[in-house]
Every structure is written in C-alpha cells, then in structure tokens.
Amino acid sequence: MAILVTGGAGYIGSHTCVELLNEGYEIIVLDNLSNSNDEALRRVKEITGKQFKAYNIDLLDKEHVTNVFKENKIDSVIHFAGLKAVGESVSDPLRYYKNNVTGTITLCEVMQQFEVKKLVFSSSATVYGASGNNIPITEEARIGATNPYGRTKHMIEEILQDVYRSDNEWSIALLRYFNPIGAHKTGRIGEDPSGIPNNLMPYIAQVAVGKRQELQVFGNDYPTRDGTGVRDYIHVDDLAAGHIKALKKIQITNGVDAFNLGTGKGYSVLEMVNAFERATNQKVPYRMEERRPGDAAICYANPSKARKLLGWQPTRDIDVMCEDTWRWQYNNPNGYEIVKETNKASKSPVQQHAADFLMPK
C-alpha cells in the first residue's frame, strides 16, 4: 500500500518524500507543476536511491485523480498541493479559493469513493491571523485568518472537520506550520520561489548570493527586542519528520486533530540576518521600510501538543537552518531554473528526467 503525496514536487513536499522513502514507505506523487519543478523529484530519487511513480495531474481534474486511485493501492494521503503566496491571494482570491478549496474537495470525494480515509493536511499558522492571541500560540487560539490564502486553509480545516463528523472512519491530522526554512543537508533540494520571494529566508539567501541587491525590512518600531517582527522558524526537514509522525498516528487512531509545527522560539528579522551572516560569512545588506498592514509584531508556536501526542520535536537549531539554506542557494543560485530551460528544449520533462513521471491518460 502506498502513500499518495499531492504537491510532492514542492518545497515541503519534496523534503517529506525523502523522509517517507528513507522510512521505507512506498510513495506516489501527484503534482501539476504549476509552482514546482519535476527536477526536485529526480533529485529526491538521487538522494534516496529509490524510485516511485509521479503523475502530472491537477487536483481539479477529477477524472484523472480518480484514475490514479484506480491504478494504485493507496492507503493514506499527505496533501500539500495548493497555491501559497499571500500577496497573490489578495490580488486574485477567486483563483485561490477555486484551486485550494475545490481541489481539496475533489481529492476527498475520490478518497471517499475508494475508501481511503486517512489524511495528513498541510495547513498553516496563518489560520490564527495577525493579532488577538496569546503568545506562544496554542491550537486552541482564536482563528482569524487575515488574507485569502489563510482563509482557504481555515475553510479546508472546517471542511475536513465536517467530513469526519459525517463519517467517523476518517482519521485526519491538520498540521499548522509556522515558518519553514532550510534545505536538505545535501544541498540538492530546497526552496525555489517563483519571482520575488514572499518569505524572509529565501530573500536573505538571494541577497547573499547576489541575485538581489538588498533586503527590505518592514517595520523597526515593533515592541520587540530590536523593533523588527518576531517569527518561529523551523527547519524543513524537522517539518517533514512531523508529517511522518502524523502519518503514523492516523494509521492507528480515528478522528481529526490540529497540531502546531514550530520550534516554540521566536527570532526577529534582524536576528535572522545576523544568524545567517554568522553561519555563512556572507553579508546581507538591508534597508528599513514602513510596516506592512496586517503584520503581527510577534508570532511563535507552543508545540507541546505535537510533542505529547505525536512524539515529535524539532532538532535543528537556527545555525543549521541558515547553513543548509546557504548550501542550497550557493549550489543552486537560480534554483531549478537551468533545469526548466533544459526541459523546454527537450522532447518533454518526462523523457528528460523521469521515465515514470506519468501524464494524464
């Protein structure tokens, strides 16, 4: 029986695929490559020395999603697939609601059809909103997403709660990520944002590698240690390990539950800049800008529930996060861009990289 990983070619998805394969799981990847690259999957195979099926399919295409379930014996699903840029969600909310929410509904309909009722869902700490909660944030904190991206995550959580209420055979883990950073220790897979990075660490890394001139720091008058915003940064490999723990839990218990995946420690923007410079010996020039509307001063997790019920806790410190980020960025200054250009010139990405990257029939 296999684990279906939707969005498995993405940043967190590809790292979780490595963890799954190293743990001995059989995996099947489903990804439409709209904001990811199949080169990541080729490198997952390179890192692990293991093969797996991968389908180039959109979750909105119910017929082809159904065919994946017909062709394979699927036991559980880890669901990463979705659009994830906060700013883009504000400018194009309908696209986000259609893709993220409708795609998840389609997935659940097909899962229900094939009696596959075990799901780990990639949610986000954005469901908590920008203010009004005690710090550190627990899973019982007030929900109040302030942008369409966060609201799609909240809506999907509510939908999955209703799915379980209607059928108690379902077992669902809702994993609320804080701020994933870092890369695999080999430097072969990492975060490859399209265009201008939406998150702090890839922006810092692109400045350090010379791809961008300087970092913009939004706000230096917050009630924090140095006036800049404080967030909870977690290594992507620790995050991937959390999915393995959640997967093991849903294999043995029914129900639906939410878990914070964070370190429980907060670092300011300038502390992250200093940590990166210390870990890499690279200078990161920056300039101060006005605050952005809706940004919270401080946001970090209370991860004790995940530690208690999943047996999970992060192990990598901020220096390792920075070192691994830099190793990826230094060795891949343009991310997977070169591979993308190669793909265009080749007969097809399938022939170029993975004989078993399957197109819809």
Residues 6+ apart with CB under 8 A from 99: 59, 60, 82, 83
Separation CA 338–CA 346 (nearest Å): 12
Separation CA 264–CA 303 (nearest Å): 6
Residue 129 Rama label (left phi>0; alpha psi -120 to 50; beta) = left
Q: Is 11 in the active site?
A: no
Residues 6+ apart with CB under 8 A from 330: 187, 209
Separation CA 347–CA 345 (nearest Å): 7
311: helix, coil or strand? coil
> How many CA atoms lie within 13 Å of 169's alpha carbon, on the beta-carbon side?
7
DSSP 126: G
Task: Name the packing angle between helices 38-48 and 11-22 (round to 10°).
Answer: 20
Residues 6+ apart with CB under 8 A from 175: 120, 121, 122, 123, 242, 243, 246, 258, 259, 261
Residue 31 contacts residue 81 (beta carbons within 8 Å): yes
Select which of 149, 164, 222, 336 is catalytic. Answer: 149
Separation CA 54–CA 28 (nearest Å): 6
First-to-last C-alpha distance (Å) of the chain: 22
Separation CA 261–CA 239 (nearest Å): 7
β-pair type (267-268, 230-231): antiparallel
Active site residues: 149
